[in-house]
């Protein structure tokens, strides 16, 4: 059994590095931070040894049959990385922090292949929910570099001619995406097989252990998983709302 103090588990590395990349026709900016945590192995261990709840309740789901899609959610304070990332988001992306933000809810996305996924399929492109305030979201890669060769995709919807959803129009554009055949998962599978009929990949961020990729919530995005990855060790990404 491993014991930990939240202050050390989520201690930020003082030698982290940050870079900004401008992507797509709409010139959106994303932020990449390498070497985020001082002791990332501890958080990785926690993720691999904590029960994860299976996502979705569709009666015909392939979850836990051909793949495993789950989430770890637990109450533990991690104020330091949120504070550091919010400062970086404000400085580099120009996004103001919210007045109140939950700092004691740890969320980790877990994915594992059981059967070979459909050829050339991708995770359903999406945008994170937002209202009048766009905000930002961060994903922190917790897999060792030899465990995956994917990362994170950013998309353009070719029919809507958008890389991101305009502020105040999330519901409207969400409905338009649902009207495009196969765009939104019906709960049976995570895979979008005919994605390239309506979508283009405009940017890819390779996964690196202890790397955070941070972007505005209205940006069209999705995990990038290679077909030969994550049969032995699941993909584990920490999700941080900013």
**This model's pTM is above 0.85:** yes
Q: Which two tokens stand for residue 125?
A: 């492109």
- Residue 142: how many other CB atoms lie within 10 Å: 26
pLDDT in tens, 42-70: 999 999 999 999 887 777 888 888 989 99
Beta sheet of 199-206, edge-to-edge order:
199-206, 151-157, 221-224
pLDDT at 90: 94
Distance in angstroms (rounded) separating the CA atoms of residues 103 and 78: 6
- Judged by average pLDDT, the poorest of 2-6, 91-95, 123-127, 210-214 is 2-6
Could you give the domains of the chain? 20-52+62-181+191-241 (2.60.120)
């Amino acid at each position: 059994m491993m014991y930990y103090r939240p202050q050390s588990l989520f201690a930020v590395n003082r030698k982290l590095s940050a870079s900004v990349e401008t992507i797509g026709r709409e010139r959106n900016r994303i932020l990449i931070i390498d070497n985020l945590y001082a002791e990332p192995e501890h958080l990785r261990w926690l993720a691999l040894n904590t029960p994860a709840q299976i996502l979705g309740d569709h009666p015909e789901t392939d979850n836990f049959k051909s793949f495993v899609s789950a989430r770890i959610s637990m109450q533990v304070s991690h104020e330091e990385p949120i504070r550091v990332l919010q400062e970086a988001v404000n400085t580099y992306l120009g996004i103001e922090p919210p007045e109140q933000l939950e700092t004691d809810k740890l969320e980790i996305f877990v994915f594992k292949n059981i059967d070979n996924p459909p050829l050339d399929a991708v995770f359903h492109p999406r945008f994170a929910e937002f209202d009048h305030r766009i905000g930002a979201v961060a994903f922190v890669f917790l897999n060792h570099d030899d465990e995956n060769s994917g990362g994170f995709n950013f998309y353009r919807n070719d029919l809507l001619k958008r890389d991101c959803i305009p502020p105040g129009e999330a519901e409207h554009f969400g409905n338009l995406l649902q009207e495009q055949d196969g765009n939104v998962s019906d709960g049976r599978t995570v895979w979008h097989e005919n994605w390239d009929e309506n979508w283009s990949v405009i940017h890819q961020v390779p996964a690196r252990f202890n790397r955070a990729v941070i972007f505005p919530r209205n940006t069209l995005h999705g995990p990038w998983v290679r077909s030969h990855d994550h049969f032995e060790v699941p993909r584990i990404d920490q999700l941080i709302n900013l």
